[in-house]
Structure 1
């Protein structure tokens, strides 16, 4: 087995997460954003925790063990890291993004959310001393440039000087998710990735729904929205995070974070197929650019 399985894991995680934007859009027609966020994280936690008590668990965990030696037990330090991961990635980041989105335009939010990739790379290099050679740096730049164009419907409509508070909140959300990505690398060394992911979903989802309840937000999820919430929770959050953690273990936060941003390309294409949203030749070109960046990273 080679390190390339880490790149496959990162791409599969991006595919699963990429389709969530379209499914979430459908669910958001009738459900409050905070309730959607809390419900999908809680669903991920419940599904993966139940999966741990089936024969599939060992078969799946064996398939996720390749070149890196894993750890079986959890120390007090691991639990502290898990608490920070839940705080930054499953609670603060979704809240800051939601309130930021309320105070800025969708175009600004789509563009600025790409700071997650930039922050992930910078933290991985500055704090965790991950390294990339020229080819790897070129690949990351191609992915980031492509993500900016693909995730932004109309670059001419970007107005960063306006809606400043909302823009700052979105950037902070990107930073918190980047911190989550890098801290999660430490937890990715655990053999039981199902346990790590399920705890992240259960704790984050419970906290988000608890806050929504305290704020008096309607908690109901119509029957028509339920399939979308359950699908996103189980696959786009649950199994996507498991694959993301596997990729972190194999190839590090810098490469995983960069490759995961291809989810914007998958999301745009899936929205085109399902919702009839535009997928222009320009987006297709920069999508190919992103995939070229992934190739450069994997061939480094």
Structure 2
């Protein structure tokens, strides 16, 4: 029961991340009218980093760096470079040539590229249902590039840049998966702060004019919610669902972004646009209704992360514990073989035959 609740929390976290990020895309499109892409990307991530940093200070009453293996620091730096610097810059540039509704749906490519990298490079398991869902999402994204699918006649530099942003974030998602057991506020806050400083620094170096204080505040609020809080929820989902499944849940974000762009900004649509929406919806549904269960073996592992005492956490404590869950401390897992529904979370990284 505790494990099922943990999975449900991870699913809600993924959907919450999708809702916040999806809403940020048309809002960022609107903000682009008043500032260059590189500066807006920097402000969005600065808002994320500063906001999450203040949240950590309020939670911990101090600023302490969690203990991480050296290899995890490398994964975090790679995630920051691709996801915090290159990804948002490509998206902001792409939005200057692409309608927000079309860009929002093209962002579904992130889920596909995330899954392909997770399966091919990082050896996360996949079955026919998941692959079919991803194929439908790819077809829907390709449909958007056909003439008449939106007010953009064909695939152009704008949509190519949005696709490049998706690839950057797909790499970022798989790199972040490697550090998902670490404090999510620290991971997301560090990424936001470093990425924000780099992008704002580039903007100042090329001589971009600084916007007004109200505009800066608005951009940073959008960044805090759409990039900061969204990323915290995404890291929590990675911890419980694995990379490909989290990406699938997160692929609901473009529907939210497209709906806001159409309803709030009156952007035109066509029957091909709605056909793409239908294909994406079916693809996401296939992921949401997945059930994965088989006999599997857990190898010994020692790590630190928030947990409850479920079937995977039957350790004793060598310290005083008040019985509250979830709680965080270093703990060891002994070998166990059993069968139950599961996702490729931080405890289920086994191979499949």
Q: Same fold (TM over 0.5)?
A: yes
Deviations 1:184-215 (A, max 9, x none): 1111121x100110000000000000011111
Distance in structure 2 (CA, Å) of the matches to 1:130 and 1:169: 27
The match for 2:14 among 7, 10, 13 is 10
Distance in structure 2 (CA, Å) of the matches to 1:278 and 1:168: 21
More strand by share: 2
Q: Is residue 35 of structure 1 aligned with residue 39 of structure 2?
A: yes
1:139 matched residue in structure 2: 133
The match for 1:188 among 177, 180, 193 is 180
More helix by share: 1
Answer yes or no: is the 8 Å Cα contact 1:38–1:209 preserved in 2: yes
2:67 matched residue in structure 1: 73
1:69 matched residue in structure 2: none
1:46 matched residue in structure 2: 50
Answer yes or no: is the 8 Å Cα contact 2:72–2:179 preserved in 1: yes
1:249 matched residue in structure 2: 239
Distance 1:101-1:33 versus aligned 2 partners, 3 A rule: same
Q: Is residue 123 of structure 1 aligned with residue 113 of structure 2?
A: no
The match for 1:236 among 221, 226, 229 is 226
Q: Is residue 273 of structure 1 aligned with residue 263 of structure 2?
A: yes
Distance 1:169-1:205 versus aligned 2 partners, 3 A rule: same
Q: Is residue 217 of structure 1 aligned with residue 208 of structure 2?
A: yes
Q: Which runs of 4+ in 1 moved over 6 A?
A: 150-153
Shift of 1:234: 1.4
Distance in structure 2 (CA, Å) of the matches to 1:214 and 1:116: 30
**Aligned residues between the structures:** 279
Greater RCO, CA 8 A, separation 6+: 1
Q: Is residue 207 of structure 1 aligned with residue 198 of structure 2?
A: yes
Give the unaligned 5+ runs of structure 2.
Answer: 291-353
**Given the two structures, how large is their TM-score scaled by the length of structure 2?**
0.69
Distance 1:121-1:158 versus aligned 2 partners, 3 A rule: farther
**Given the two structures, how large is their TM-score scaled by the length of structure 1?**
0.80
The match for 2:168 among 176, 185, 189 is 176
Deviations 1:159-206 (A, max 9, x none): 34x65xx7665544332221111101111121x100110000000000
Answer yes or no: is the 8 Å Cα contact 1:37–1:94 preserved in 2: yes
